[in-house]
């Protein structure tokens, strides 16, 4: 048989063609799957358990998908709810779902799949040697684990299928691999396992595998021999090149994909054009792992930040800006100690020169000068109050500090007031590990609610 997976977009909140969605609904999808998150925008979203995308936009798009689901009576799955997939963000999607159900007078059976992990459990895995580091190896310790504000495990297809098996109309998944939701039903239906994973990887970003990424909608059809991927919008096309090139996207190894329960190898796959919008893929293979593992993601606080931005157009200062910043930095470090008794180990202070090498730092190759530069100061310290106070201390010097002692006091341009901006708590990713578990549901939790 064939299992049809409708993917409306690469992520909820990014937009998709409503016309294409309606067109795809005519093609008899068996399930609608959309991603809700990624680590791609950095550690703050996992660190705080908050969303990157606008709630209003997510709600508007989710409403369209709930209507689509209802019209066909098929399941709708969102994985990695609210960017990071923390428990708080599964509940955030549940709240949005409840609101829409009320507005539309729908009564779906909603299953939430939670994937957040207690630091104590991860600590126990470290102690019992069931936690393994991935390349590149990063340091891990009891302190680092305990300092994580959130740790999530990435669910695979098995946990999502458990949720679907509860008769779910809608499944709200915490953190999961990008592919898991898309391949869960096809594999449960007995379709080709490797083709299901491979097709899921190709379709996980929606129309990114087509010639028109912003159209969003694609249809993945998996059968017992392989899969086809179809662009849906009238102005979107799939070619063997556009499809096979997507294996490279955000993937360090273009041939392999390590998933909970095994590894996909797509090196020998063949890509054949069926028509302008459809490509057929066969020939990938799946190796089942000896142990079932789930990948972990963690984020921990690294203090609080305050920034400042000064704009410099004075050609004398633009020309000598690196020297100026070096001198300013040394002066501030010295004065913070001398006048406020704030030692260098209580903060970090960094200036980046926009218009010179702010993007690449030491890797920058261009030396010719710009007519203006921005100097972005970033201070990180143990509390917001201290970071703010350090930057307030720096403020008049960022505005007025002379290049040498022998020249008049300059004044630069502050683009807004107050010049300093409290950025709040800052986070870093701190786990690059997999955890061995005895069976897939061991560290995941399900909750059912009939709306």
Partner 1 sequence: MAQLLGELCEKIRSKNAGPYWITIDIFCGDTERYNTVVKALNDEQIAQCLQLPAAELRRFDMPELYAIKISFARPIVQGSAGDRDMHGAQYAVLIEELELV
Residues in contact with partner 1 by CB under 8 A are 39-44, 134-136, 138, 241, 244-245, 248-255, 297, 302, 348, 350, 352, 358-363, 365, 380, 427-429, 432
Least Å distance between CB 428 and partner 1? 4
Peptide bond preceding 136 in cis form (omega within 30 of 0): yes
DSSP letters, 137-176, are: P----HHHHHHEEEEEE-B-HHHHHHHHTTT-SEEEESSB
Distance CA 375, CA 356 (A): 10
Asked whether 48 and 425 are in contact (CB, 8 A), the reply is yes
Q: For residues 103 and 364, which CB has a smaller minimum distance to partner 1 in the complex? A: 364
Least Å distance between CB 107 and partner 1? 39
Q: For residues 268 and 337, which CB has a smaller minimum distance to partner 1 in the complex? A: 268
Least Å distance between CB 69 and partner 1? 31
Least Å distance between CB 415 and partner 1? 20
Using alpha carbons only, what angle is made at residue 182 by residues 84 and 210, rounded to the nearest 5 degrees? 95
Least Å distance between CB 250 and partner 1? 5
Q: What are the structure tokens assigned to 244, written together? A: 């096979």
Q: For residues 108 and 174, which CB has a smaller minimum distance to partner 1 in the complex? A: 174
Q: For residues 365 and 371, which CB has a smaller minimum distance to partner 1 in the complex? A: 365
Asked whether 342 and 386 are in contact (CB, 8 A), the reply is yes
Q: For residues 63 and 255, which CB has a smaller minimum distance to partner 1 in the complex? A: 255
* Antiparallel, parallel or unpaired: β 218-222 and 3-7: antiparallel
Least Å distance between CB 235 and partner 1? 20
Distant-in-sequence, close-in-space partners of 149: CB < 8 Å, separation ≥ 6: 47, 48, 49, 299, 300, 301, 427
Which residues does residue 252 pair with via DSSP β-bridges, in sequence order? none
Q: Residue 52 carries which DSSP code?
A: S
Q: For residues 101 and 431, which CB has a smaller minimum distance to partner 1 in the complex? A: 431
Q: For residues 134 and 441, which CB has a smaller minimum distance to partner 1 in the complex? A: 134
Distance CA 172, CA 36 (A): 10
Least Å distance between CB 429 and partner 1? 4
**Three-class DSSP category at 136:** coil
Peptide bond preceding 156 in cis form (omega within 30 of 0): no
Q: For residues 301 and 442, which CB has a smaller minimum distance to partner 1 in the complex? A: 301
The conformational region for residue 323 under phi > 0 = left, psi -120 to 50 = alpha, else beta, is alpha
Least Å distance between CB 30 and partner 1? 30
Least Å distance between CB 121 and partner 1? 21
Distance CA 239, CA 282 (A): 15
Q: For residues 120 and 270, which CB has a smaller minimum distance to partner 1 in the complex? A: 270
What HEC string does 178-217 produce? CCHHHHHHHHHCCCCHHHHHHHHHHHCCHHHHCCCHHHCC
Least Å distance between CB 137 and partner 1? 9
Distance CA 106, CA 169 (A): 11
Q: What are the structure tokens assigned to 325, written together? A: 């910043």
Q: For residues 39 and 109, which CB has a smaller minimum distance to partner 1 in the complex? A: 39
């Amino acid at each position: 048989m064939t299992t049809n997976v409708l993917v409306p977009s690469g992520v909820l909140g990014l937009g998709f063609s409503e016309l294409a969605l309606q067109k795809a609904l005519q093609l008899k999808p068996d399930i609608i799957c959309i991603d809700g998150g990624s680590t791609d925008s950095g550690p703050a979203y996992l660190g705080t358990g908050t969303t990157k995308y606008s709630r209003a936009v997510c709600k508007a798009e989710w409403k369209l998908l709930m209507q689509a689901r209802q019209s066909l009576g098929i399941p709708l799955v969102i994985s990695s709810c609210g960017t990071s997939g923390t428990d708080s963000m599964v509940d955030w999607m549940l709240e949005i779902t409840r609101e829409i159900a009320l507005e539309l007078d729908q009564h779906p059976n909603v299953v939430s799949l939670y994937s957040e992990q207690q630091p104590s459990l991860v600590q126990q895995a470290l102690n019992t040697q069931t936690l393994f580091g991935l390349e590149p190896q990063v340091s891990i310790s009891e302190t680092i684990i305990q300092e994580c504000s959130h740790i999530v495990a990435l669910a695979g297809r098995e946990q999502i299928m458990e949720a679907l098996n509860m008769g779910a109309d809608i499944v709200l998944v915490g953190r999961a691999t990008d592919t898991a939701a898309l391949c869960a039903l096809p594999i449960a239906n007995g379709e080709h396992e490797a083709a299901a994973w491979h097709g899921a990887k190709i379709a996980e970003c929606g129309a990114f595998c087509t010639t028109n990424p912003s159209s969003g909608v694609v249809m993945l059809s998996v059968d017992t021999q392989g899969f086809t991927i179809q662009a849906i919008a009238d102005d979107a096309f799939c070619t063997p090149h556009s499809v096979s090139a997507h294996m490279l996207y955000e993937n360090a190894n273009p041939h392999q994909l390590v998933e909970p329960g095994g590894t996909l190898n797509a090196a020998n796959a063949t890509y054949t054009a069926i028509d302008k919008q459809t490509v057929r893929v066969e020939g990938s293979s799946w190796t089942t792992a000896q142990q079932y593992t789930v990948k972990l993601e963690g984020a921990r606080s690294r203090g609080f930040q305050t920034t400042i931005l000064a704009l410099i157009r004075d050609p004398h200062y633009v020309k000598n800006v690196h020297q100026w910043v070096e001198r300013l930095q040394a002066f501030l470090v010295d004065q913070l100690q001398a006048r406020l008794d704030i030692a260098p180990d209580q903060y970090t202070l960094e200036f980046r020169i926009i218009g010179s090498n702010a993007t690449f730092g030491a890797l920058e190759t261009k030396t010719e000068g710009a007519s203006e530069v921005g100097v972005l100061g970033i201070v990180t310290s143990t509390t917001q109050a201290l970071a703010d106070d350090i930057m307030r201390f720096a403020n008049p010097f960022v505005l007025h500090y002379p290049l040498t002692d022998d020249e008049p006091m300059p004044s630069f341009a502050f683009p807004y007031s107050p010049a300093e901006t409290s950025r709040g708590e800052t986070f870093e990713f701190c786990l690059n590990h997999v955890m061995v578990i005895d069976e897939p549901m061991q560290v995941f939790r399900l909750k059912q609610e009939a709306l």
